[in-house]
Chains A and B, each alone.
Chain A
Amino acid sequence: MNSHERPEAGHHVGRYMGVTMREVEELHLVGHAAVAPHLRGPAGGVRTGALLTMLDNVGGLTGGLAALPDGWVVSTNLAARVVALSHVGPLRIDSGLLRRGRNNVVTSVQIRDEGTRGALVASGVLTSAILVPENGPPQWSRPLVLEPLFDATPDLPPIPEWLGVRPVGDRSVEIDLAAELRNPWGILHGGVVATLVDLAAEHATGGGWTTDVVLHFLAPNRVGPVRASARVLGRRTDGHVLRVEVRDEGAARTTALAIVTCATSA
């Protein structure tokens, strides 16, 4: 979660995901998102990369509110387990504060499917570092309410097309760092990084679907192209375990590391 400026610039990712948010009690945020066709992945439900983006959005905003008035937050790592691969929707994203330390904030996030009587979809933890933005931390009206920034757009392209993802060999995928994929700080949105990791794992396993992710954000992606390369570490009864490294090729540096479990059979 890197965003506090509004509207438009840097908010294309939020628009694409369509998440609304409401602070139901202090530092307890609830988001909602439709199971829209453009968000669906190979297992039929919302693609794990999109779930991670929602988790980052709602958990990150909870962390940001917890960091006030001292500063704002930037995501440093995200860990999540997906337990349901098909969804009816709408999805409810519940986030609460686990810990507010001197220089980081930890939030817990659960995603549930309200269309299947609140069945758990994913459970995760987001850790964010507290930073002081150049112009000071943002001001919010509390309790916070965020409605969609734009009118709903019915014909959005599916995620791979939206990102402009292209395969590079058997185990890598790559995107250009387009303006609409950047957050308000001008760097690649963390949710897009998570989605790129998801797509690389799918590509390297020949069509598997991601069920478990640990993602460390190491450095910002500023230049592009951004490439995610997956390497299979081993296979278990729950799928392949992969190591996925993300690099900003234009800046010649590693920007994220993920460990992913990817199921390859129902």
Chain B
Amino acid sequence: MTAVYPPDHHLLRDLRFSFDHDADARRSRAWMPVVPELCTDLGHARAGALATLVDVIGGGLAASAAAPGWIATADLTLHLVGAARPGSVVEARAEVLRAGRTTVVIEVALVDEHERNIGTATMSFSVLPRRETNPEVDRVRDSPSTMATASSRLDRPLLDELGVRVRDAARGVIDVPVTDWSRNSMGAMQGGVVATVAEVAAETALRAATNEQLVVADLQVTYLGFGRVGPVRTAVDVLGSGAGHGSARVELVDAGAESRQMTVVHAVATRALT
């Protein structure tokens, strides 16, 4: 754990998000510039990169809605319907659907700068008693409108920056280390990165199974436990495929922590989004 989160060199700075929170803690907006380093080989933003945007804006809004309690992310779902191309800016519009005693539910609409629909996402959170180690919500809400510094940017493709290593493409087995660049404020792999790891595993296995250049368009991520040690390792069960699409179930474990189960993901891949 570092004293200041995120540290100077960190994913959440290098993705150059910016934020705008409504005062009533019911709505937030965030923006992510799409750069080639965030894109698939078919030329549009990775589902995992967009899931990271959703995770950050949804988590911040849920923390405000749950105050004075704290939150744990239970699940994140993402459905993409449009391609976010390099040079565009994706806007995430988050809204609280439910803020109850035990759960918070958030919906996030994704559009580009021309109001074209890119996709939609949902997140749900468990409300927990506050601990001393949890960040102050007011600090979250009053934080600067961007975490990026003047030097923040991706120098390499996202998957290279994460250190993704494919061990068995057909079975979707990949290893990804847990590094300071990709940790969350609790010292574990950040939730959007977990989604990215699952995305890559599903895409790898589904391409091997179908011989098609499929890209992941849907993610249904159920978070079960943290990945603190690493490497995070995946295994994929291809559920089915048809003309131009396929679906898979991905399990992620923390291989460095006795293969503790971290996450279960259902993913759908399609041909390139338009």
Contact = CB atoms under 8 A, between A and B. Distances in A.
B55 interface: no
B54 to A, nearest CB: 13
B260 to A, nearest CB: 11
Interface string A86-107: 0000000000001101111010
Nearest to A126: B222
Contact of B103 (A81, A129, A243): A129
Interface stretch (B59-67, B117-125, B160-168, B169-177): B117-125
Contact of A218 (B75, B81, B105, B220): B105
A84 B247 CA distance: 12
Contact of B124 (A84, A127, A233): A127
B270 interface: yes
Interface stretch (B41-49, B187-195, B235-243): B235-243
B244 A238 contact: yes
Interface stretch (A20-28, A34-42, A55-63, A254-262): A254-262
A77 B270 CA distance: 25
A257 B218 contact: no
Contact of A233 (B102, B120, B245): B120
B79 A233 contact: yes
A142 to B, nearest CB: 25
Interface residues of A, number: 38
A124 B264 CA distance: 10
Interface string B27-62: 000000000000000000000000000000000000
Nearest to A235: B81
B268 A254 contact: no
Contacts of B82: 234
A27 to B, nearest CB: 15
20 contacts: A77-B105, A79-B222, A83-B239, A103-B102, A103-B127, A104-B126, A108-B264, A125-B75, A129-B102, A214-B79, A214-B122, A214-B220, A216-B97, A219-B98, A233-B79, A235-B81, A237-B270, A237-B271, A259-B77, A259-B79
| 9 A-B pairs closest in CB distance | A234-B81, A237-B244, A83-B240, A238-B245, A79-B220, A237-B270, A214-B77, A99-B224, A218-B98
